[in-house]
Amino acid sequence: MIQSMTGYGRAMTELSDKKIHVEIKSLNSKAMDLSTRMAPAYREKEIEVRNEVSKRLERGKADFSLWIEKKENAEAAVVINQALLGSYYKQIVESSEKLNIPLPTDWFQTLLRMPDVMGKPEIQELSEEEWKVVSDTIAQAIDQLVEFRKQEGKALEKKFRENIDNIRKLLENIAPYEKERVEKVRERITDALEKVIGIDYDKNRLEQELIYYIEKLDINEEKQRLTNHLNYFIKTMEGDNGQGKKLGFIAQEMGREINTLGSKSNHAEMQKIVVQMKDELEQIKEQILNVM
């Protein structure tokens, strides 16, 4: 079963003082291209997160985000150093009396601007229990993205099967024109000899030359190889994940055989069929770029 490289996953969990949000999305890319944005509290785990995401997703351009939403009843993001604030107040009053300087009209704003009065709380060490909760949330987001990829993969597989079936039918439609093509080639050459050159010729020798020429135009091998490639494409698609590159190689081989059919066709109707086959193949190649 194939998977698309396009996907989206999101998960959220609540702790006593905050909510943890995890979001991950991916697009197609030749290799694993991962960018991460993590809240400072969990940045020490970034390498661990990158390894896990890369292992699960394998390929694609992925964006991973982990952020914290503080609850309304949570402690403030900053704290006021009340002891230091009181010390500043005392010193300002004493300086005002000694230097005869008017006291400030807005005490609170003045004191809050003094150095180190406002400060962030000490960063608490990340506990194993909290990280276990966060790690599970990350796994849920990845699981959701993988499921999204599988659903997209089913849609791609359905489209690929339609394209492959269409190429098979077009290949079968070539058969009626093959014998007609041989007769037209024979008529064209003999007419040219009789009308243009206007001389007698050795009909036995001409027949030998025609056989040699027609053998050069024989497309049975190309038809057989193309059929094998079509079968192999379906078989590969039904295998394990991570078959995007392999399917791309098979599509290239299919293109070679279709091009050879076109160059050997030497028949207007056959060439129209070949053009239709190329159109189906181009649709496959475009979608393969999104297969993991």
Domain that holds residue 107: 79-119
Does 171 map to a domain? yes
Shared domain check, 145 and 16:
yes
Shared domain check, 11 and 145:
yes
Shared domain check, 266 and 167:
yes
Shared domain check, 52 and 29:
yes
Shared domain check, 275 and 199:
yes
Does 2 map to a domain? no
Does 86 map to a domain? yes
Shared domain check, 218 and 141:
no
Shared domain check, 113 and 142:
no
Read off the amino acid at residue 103: L
Does 30 map to a domain? yes
- In three-state form (DSSP H/G/I as H, E/B as E, the rest C), the secondary structure along the chain is CCCECCEEEEEEEECCCEEEEEEEEEECCCCEEEEEEECHHHHHHHHHHHHHHHHHHCCEEEEEEEEEEECCCCCCCCEECHHHHHHHHHHHHHHHHHHCCCCCCCHHHHHHCCCCCEECCCCCCCCHHHHHHHHHHHHHHHHHHHHHHHHHHHHHHHHHHHHHHHHHHHHHHHHHHHHHHHHHHHHHHHHHHHHHHCCCCCHHHHHHHHHHHHHHCCCHHHHHHHHHHHHHHHHHHCCCCCCHHHHHHHHHHHHHHHHHHHHHHCCHHHHHHHHHHHHHHHHHHHHHCCEC
Shared domain check, 264 and 250:
yes
Quote the number of domains for the chain.
3
Shared domain check, 166 and 110:
no
Does 223 map to a domain? yes
| Cα–Cα distance, 5 to 289 (Å, whole number) | 9
Does 174 map to a domain? yes
What CATH code is carried by the domain that includes residue 33?
Answer: 3.30.230
Residue 221, both tokens: 């091998």
| Cα–Cα distance, 244 to 278 (Å, whole number) | 20
Shared domain check, 275 and 144:
no
Does 1 map to a domain? no
* Residue-by-residue pLDDT tens, the chain, 292 positions: 889 999 999 999 998 888 999 999 999 998 899 999 998 889 999 999 999 999 999 989 999 999 988 876 555 556 777 888 888 888 888 888 888 888 888 877 887 778 777 765 555 678 889 999 999 999 999 999 999 999 999 999 999 999 999 999 999 999 888 777 767 766 776 676 666 555 566 666 666 666 666 667 778 889 999 999 999 999 999 887 668 889 999 999 999 999 999 888 878 888 999 999 999 999 999 999 999 8
Shared domain check, 159 and 136:
no
**β-strand partners of 32:** 60
Shared domain check, 87 and 218:
no
pTM: 0.70
Q: What is the pLDDT of residue 242?
A: 61
| Cα–Cα distance, 123 to 48 (Å, whole number) | 21
Does 59 map to a domain? yes
